[in-house]
Structure 1
Amino acid sequence: MAVKSLFITATDTDAGKTFVSCLLLQGLAARSEKAVGVKPIAAGTNDQNQNGDALLLQRHSGIALPYQLINPICYQAPVAPHLAAVNEQQPISEAKLDQTLEQWQQLPLQWLLIEGAGGWLLPLDGQRYLADWVAKQQLPVVLIVGMKLGCLNHAMLTVREIARSGCQLLGWVANCVDPDMALAEQNIADLQQRIPAPCLGVVPYRPDNNEQVALNLASSLLRTSGCNTR
């Protein structure tokens, strides 16, 4: 059975890609679906030269994988990766991304969640964006919308750019990052009217029951993908 590969992007940095990806991994595991989360490119490391988001994906994945396979391209400084690549004299290699994707897709998995870095148009160099690689690989996209003031503009710009790239927007998640956001429910309803893809779920700010939220998200993903939710 072929691995179902998804690319997880967001409206901007700190919109909650890793948090939602880990919830999806937990929910898929609860549905007896073997899933792995990976982060092709990361910037910002600990003393062991490992990225915190990638470590969370590694921890919640259904298969134990070495860190280097979870996060093949990593830079020390917590800055835009293409700028870190220049400073550290280690260019971002699309060939390495291609090769690693092949390795991921040969794993004994049902789901592969590929988490981006930053927003949709993350630069790889002076001309290319990570979105160009996603389009080349024809990966379906899940968009995480960080619900806060300004998110309507950020969300719709991203949705339009995903469509312009020729990628399929499989669904989106409303992640409530601002507990004090005015008219949050109305904003979510507005986005549901505007985004031509299903809302997979709403993640509350610091949810009381992560397990239930995870299960709901995974169930929505399985339904949207045409899979049996058992």
Structure 2
Amino acid sequence: MYFVTGTDTDSGKTLIGSALLYKAKQQGTTLGVKPIASGCEMTTQGLRNSDALSLMAQSSLKLPYEQINPFAFAPAIAPHIAAKQAGQSLSVASIERHLRTLPFHKVDFSLIEGAGGWRLPLGEGAYLSDLAKALELPVILVVGLKLGALNHAVLTQEALLADGLEIAGWVANRVDPKMSVPEENLQSLHEMMSSPCLGVVPYLDSPDVAQVASYLDINGL
């Protein structure tokens, strides 16, 4: 089981997470979970989040939506603020309790996708990163290639290592087609990151999970 985080909110965690599941599904069974999501849409079945639905589509083990995304909020704002507006509270303990009820042991490859960046606040001094620490999960870092990516990647790497967690690998995902000198930035990342690069995904106008998966190598996981 892996925890997928990103250098920031728009780094492409869901796209890469879904592609990792797609890739792994070619070899075995999969399960992807997104415990917290804001920016959900109201449907006849209740609140639904596009990120969670994407992970579900690439999960061979089919579970009810509420098990994949137990904490869903409509406003596209920081989840702990959305939760407060909804009269709810978020805590590491409550999320962990839910996750421990899920049958991760039944699949060959599983991942938990975070929200925002590594230090997503849950309120009252807690962060979503505390969940990964509590579960002692290896982390896959998605680096959104754009101006500022080097700083964000190195700072996130430092935080992950300071938290005592293993970085299983990182994925470079080009999110800005106008980024200057992308190859030079990528070379710098290879020099500064201490874990294996699992793939480099170019900018895609209409990204397709199968297409993105072709740029990834999960053999080292």
Report TM bin, short chain. Answer: over 0.9
Contact 2:104 2:110 in 1 (8 A): no
Contact 1:105 1:112 in 2 (8 A): no
Please tell me whether residue 146 in structure 1 is matched to residue 149 in structure 2: no
Separation in 2 of the partners of 1:161 and 1:68? 31
Deviation at 1:104, TM superposition (A): 2.6
Contact 1:26 1:215 in 2 (8 A): no
Please tell me whether residue 29 in structure 1 is matched to residue 22 in structure 2: no
Partner in structure 2 of residue 214 of structure 1: 213
Letter paired with 2:42:
D
Please tell me whether residue 53 in structure 1 is matched to residue 48 in structure 2: no
Please tell me whether residue 19 in structure 1 is matched to residue 21 in structure 2: no
Separation in 1 of the partners of 2:38 and 2:208? 30
Q: Report the secondary structure of 1:118's partner residue.
A: strand
Q: Which runs of 5+ in 1 are unaligned?
A: 226-230
Q: 1:155-181, CA deviations, whole angstroms, 9 ceiling, x for partnerless residues?
A: 111000001111111100000111111
Separation in 2 of the partners of 1:29 and 1:179? 30
* Residues 216 and 177 of structure 1, relative CA distance in 2, 3 Å threshold: closer
Separation in 2 of the partners of 1:8 and 1:123? 16
Q: Which runs of 5+ in 2 are unaligned?
A: none
Letter paired with 2:210:
E
Q: Which moved more, 1:59-68 or 1:205-214?
A: 205-214
Contact 1:27 1:216 in 2 (8 A): no
Flag the structure with higher strand content. Answer: 2
Deviation at 1:142, TM superposition (A): 0.3
Partner in structure 2 of residue 42 of structure 1: 37
Contact 2:200 2:215 in 1 (8 A): no
Q: How does 1:24-173 map to 2 (within 5 A)?
A: 24-30=20-26, 32-48=27-43, 49-173=47-171
Letter paired with 2:37:
A
Deviation at 1:47, TM superposition (A): 1.9
Structure 2-normalised TM-score? 0.93
Deviation at 1:15, TM superposition (A): 0.6
Partner in structure 1 of residue 181 of structure 2: 183
Task: Give aligned-pair identity as a percent.
Answer: 43
Separation in 2 of the partners of 1:101 and 1:138? 13
* Residues 60 and 106 of structure 1, relative CA distance in 2, 3 Å threshold: closer
Q: 1:52-110, CA deviations, whole angstroms, 9 ceiling, x for partnerless residues?
A: 11111111211221100110111111100111111111001323312222223445201
Partner in structure 2 of residue 228 of structure 1: none
Separation in 1 of the partners of 2:80 and 2:211? 37
Contact 2:22 2:209 in 1 (8 A): no
* Residues 42 and 213 of structure 1, relative CA distance in 2, 3 Å threshold: closer
Flag the structure with higher helix content. Answer: 1
Separation in 1 of the partners of 2:116 and 2:131? 15
Structure 1's consecutive aligned runs of 4 or more residues displaced over 6 angstroms after TM superposition are none
Q: Which moved more, 1:208-217 or 1:67-76?
A: 208-217
* Residues 106 and 172 of structure 1, relative CA distance in 2, 3 Å threshold: closer
Structure 1-normalised TM-score? 0.89
Deviation at 1:210, TM superposition (A): 5.2
Separation in 1 of the partners of 2:41 and 2:125? 30
